[in-house]
Amino acid sequence: MGTFSQPLMICNGLPKEREFVTKVNFPAHIMCGSGHVVGKRLIEYTPFNDTQNSKVGLLVECGQHWASDTGVVALDTALHFLEPAKWLTLIL
C-alpha cells in the first residue's frame, strides 16, 4: 500500500467469500467490492468470481512494504487462514 491504513482483507462480496472471511476473522477490517483503478485484481477472475464453485480468492493488504508490522500481519493472516481452509487438519 502506498499510504498508511489499517490492514484489511478484500473480497468481491459473494456469499461464499463472506462466509469464508467470517471464519478467517483476520485482519479486523474487511472490504467487499469489485473494481480497481488499474484493472481487475486476481480475485475478480474465474474461478474465484464464479458462484457455481466453492473456490475463494481473497486479497489482504497487510500494510506498507517497509513497515515492520506488515510482516507480522502477513504471518498472522496466514495462520488464521489455515483453519477455515482445512489445511490445519492436513498438517497435523
Q: What would the pLDDT profile of 1-44 be if each residue is shown by its tens digit?
A: 567 889 999 999 999 999 999 999 999 999 998 777 788 888 88
Query: Looking at the domain assignment, is residue 1 inside a domain?
Result: no
Candidates 58, 61, 60; CA nearest to 1 is 61
Asked whether residue 2 is domain-assigned, the answer is no
Q: 72 lies in a domain?
A: yes
Helices assigned H by DSSP within 1-92 = 15-24, 68-82, 87-91
Q: Is residue 52 in some structural domain?
A: yes
Would you say residue 59 lies in a domain?
A: yes
Q: Is the pLDDT of residue 85 over 70?
A: yes
* Residue pLDDT, tens place only, 72-82: 999 999 999 99
Q: What is the DSSP letter of 39?
A: S
Range of the domain at 19: 8-91
What's the domain count of the chain?
Answer: 1
Residue 28 neighbours by CB under 8 Å, 6+ apart = 6, 7
Task: Summarize the confidence of residues 43-66 as an average pLDDT.
Answer: 91
Supply the pTM of this predicted model.
Answer: 0.79
Per-residue confidence band for 87, with pLDDT thresholds at 50, 70 and 90:
confident
Matching residue, cell 513497515: 67
